[in-house]
Structure 1
Amino acid sequence: KSLERDLERVGNSLLSPPSSTDELLNLLERAEGLLSKVWQQPPKRLRRALLPVMKALIADDLLRSHDTSVQVVLASCFNELTRITAPDFTYPDELMKEIFRLFIISFKQLSCASNLNYSRSLKILETMAKVKSSLMLVDIDSDGLINEMFQLFLNHARSDHHSETFKYMEDIMNLVIQEIDSISTELLSLLLDSVRLGNKIDSPFSWNLGRRVFKKCGAKLRSYIQAAVKTMNLDVANYAEIVTSI
């Protein structure tokens, strides 16, 4: 009952958010901490207590904030909500697109482990991989956001990442490819660019991430690669051996 009461209080406070960024961050962090204590598929009484928070978080003033710290903490709150409600959608499709845009903004913080928002962004990545919330992105049919997310992962795969970070990225990419109805030319190009022969030296971690995705999803990607050879004059000799073997 204490958790329910606290959730209702912070939700009602967020419905009339403070104008001070520091005070807003403090309030969002309180919401984030409370949401992290809610287990998946909670009982009806606790679900009711979530409603004020869920309503407050989708206010235009919050969703349109340009403050990076606000965006990342807000993304973290939504991340907890997707965990709590998985596998169901938390919000309508158009709002889910806005939420995934915030997730992608948070993933940009993964480029530097010393970044103040790094650990929060890593938690969002971990949750997305473990509860498979990226399936929501497939279901709302947003190729643009999928491409942007893949590009970020491939750009930010680097030596100072923990092995778990690399694995979470790989798991998310594999799941999306396996579940998506069709692979767009742009998405295929992103994957192919990561495993160009020159990338093995220039961007070895991006190369390895792309190579592992091709290995795991070869059956799904085969027909698209074969089509690219014919329509785009793709020379598989310019890419990692895994592309040729597919």
Structure 2
Amino acid sequence: MTYFDRKLEKQLKDREIEKQVKEAGNRLLNLPSSTDDLLTLPDKVENFLAYVEQEPSKSMIAELDAPYKDEQMKEIFQLIGAAFENMPHVSTHSYNKVVSIIDTIAKVKLCLVMLDLECDALVVEMFQNFLKIIRSNYPPAVLSAMETIMNLVIDESEDISLDLLS
């Protein structure tokens, strides 16, 4: 296979991945009706994103930019909150997805977007869910991610509400 054949093959593959990433993003714009559906969509997105290179093309970057309006982000946060509230037992597949979501929120500081969007009630609900679901059998990494999220929110909050304090 020549250099140009490999380059053309790579471009075609990149375009297909861009198309799949865009389709997955559009599916997120039309939020799934159930927590289970929301938890399976990241599996699909994760598979597509695994093929995105360290320095993606301009067209790929355009597909990865935040395509969501504030209200859509609030709905996504509500579904994520529901996933936390119903965090399953450690041995289930859903548990691994919720842990992945918690880890991602901690790593990319997504909880700060919740503050920017003034999702105060959702932040309080998230804290309550974390405190309610924390179990001694959770791996230290899960507890650490929860702690990171809570610390970020407290550190970055201009005013800490009485609901959050309680």
TM-score of the aligned structures, taking structure 1 as reference length: 0.51
For residue 40 of structure 1, report the CA deviation from its aligned partner: 7.4
Residue 33 of structure 1 aligns with which residue? 47
Structure 2 contact 24–45 (Cα < 8 Å) conserved: no
Aligned residue pairs total 146
Q: Report the structure number with the largest CA radius of gyration.
A: 1
Counterpart among 120, 129, 135 of residue 106 in structure 2: 129
Structure 1 contact 108–152 (Cα < 8 Å) conserved: yes
Per chain length, whose mean CA-contact separation is higher, i.e. which structure has more relative contact order (CA < 8 Å, sep 6+)?
2
Counterpart among 29, 40, 47 of residue 61 in structure 2: 47
Structure 2 contact 106–148 (Cα < 8 Å) conserved: yes
Distance 1:37-1:181 versus aligned 2 partners, 3 A rule: farther
Percent of aligned positions with the same letter in both sequences?
37
Counterpart among 108, 112, 125 of residue 148 in structure 1: 125
Q: Which whole-Å deviations, capped at 9, do the CAs of 1:30-73 have from their partners, x for residues lacking one?
A: 3331034436784312134x3xxxxxxxxxxxxxxxxxxxxxxx
For residue 160 of structure 1, report the CA deviation from its aligned partner: 1.1
TM-score of the aligned structures, taking structure 2 as reference length: 0.73
2:134 maps to a residue whose letter is: A
For residue 3 of structure 1, report the CA deviation from its aligned partner: 3.7
For residue 149 of structure 1, report the CA deviation from its aligned partner: 0.4
2:22 maps to 1:8: no
Q: 5+ residue gaps in structure 2?
A: 1-10, 31-36
1:110 counterpart SS class = coil
Structure 2 contact 20–48 (Cα < 8 Å) conserved: no
Residue 79 of structure 1 aligns with which residue? none
For residue 92 of structure 1, report the CA deviation from its aligned partner: 1.9
For residue 159 of structure 1, report the CA deviation from its aligned partner: 0.9
Structure 1 segment 61-76 matched on structure 2, within 5 A: none
Residue 179 of structure 1 aligns with which residue? 156
Counterpart among 101, 110, 114 of residue 78 in structure 2: 101
Residue 33 of structure 2 aligns with which residue? none
2:110 maps to 1:110: no
